[in-house]
A and B are shown apart, each in its own frame.
Chain A
Amino acid sequence: QKEVEQDPGPLSVPEGAIVSLNCTYSNSAFQYFMWYRQYSRKGPELLMYTYSSGNKEDGRFTAQVDKSSKYISLFIRDSQPSDSATYLCAMNPWGTGANNLFFGTGTRLTVIP
């Protein structure tokens, strides 16, 4: 069993839809949780990071962490075609940039105009 599981999709939604992306994990030592966005043929770009359970909002993006269920989510409101990318969850026990980031396999999202 992988330490981080993520539904690979692909996920296709119409423009303006609310998108929900999810990851589960098995290691209770994970304390820091991140979401990266990766456009085709580009490197991952950090979208959000959070430490505690609960919600964190940044514009159209909301990151949600439930440590008791070992479940994290990223919500995208009013999705745009420019949001079409692969979304990767990542986590580790120490910090946002500390060694050993554990990634999910990524969910490919397409937002249709």
Chain B
Amino acid sequence: DSGVTQTPKHLITATGQRVTLRCSPRSGDLSVYWYQQSLDQGLQFLIQYYNGEERAKGNILERFSAQQFPDLHSELNLSSLELGDSALYFCASSAGDVDTQYFGPGTRLTVL
């Protein structure tokens, strides 16, 4: 158990809908990262927050947004969902912004 928690474990929704994925980092970790894992693309970095502020952006679509709250948990919002958004979404956390990343168990999103 990495200490990173993610909810929900599974999410099934329809195209055009909006969902929110939640992540709680390990105790004391200030950085949160979001990744998308699909069969054809592998693990793709989406975005990083450090102590509430956006630190880096990867291949995150404009339909996706994230934030990190004062208690350091983070949410990833996915809107106008498309079939191609079906994937595993992982959250990772690290103590600072240059430290080892620890991954959560992931949220499996299925868009029908």
**Which of A's residues lie within 8 Å of B, judged by CB?**
36, 41-46, 49, 88, 90, 94-106
Contact = CB atoms under 8 A, between A and B. Distances in A.
Interface residues of B, number: 29
A43 B102 CA distance: 9
Contacts of B102: 46
Interface stretch (B11-19, B63-71, B72-80, B89-97): B89-97
Interface string B18-35: 000000000000010101
Contact of A97 (B35, B58, B96): B96
Contacts of A45: 2, 103
Contact of A99 (B43, B95, B97, B105): B97
Interface of B: 2, 4, 31, 33, 35, 41-45, 48, 55-56, 58, 90, 92, 94-106
Contact of B56 (A41, A88, A100, A104): A100
B59 to A, nearest CB: 10
25 contacts: A41-B105, A44-B43, A45-B103, A49-B100, A90-B43, A95-B98, A96-B98, A96-B99, A97-B31, A97-B94, A97-B95, A97-B96, A97-B100, A98-B97, A99-B33, A99-B55, A99-B58, A99-B97, A100-B45, A101-B43, A101-B45, A101-B101, A104-B42, A105-B41, A105-B42
A72 to B, nearest CB: 16
A98 B2 CA distance: 18
Contacts of A49: 100
A22 to B, nearest CB: 15
Contacts of B104: 43
B11 to A, nearest CB: 15
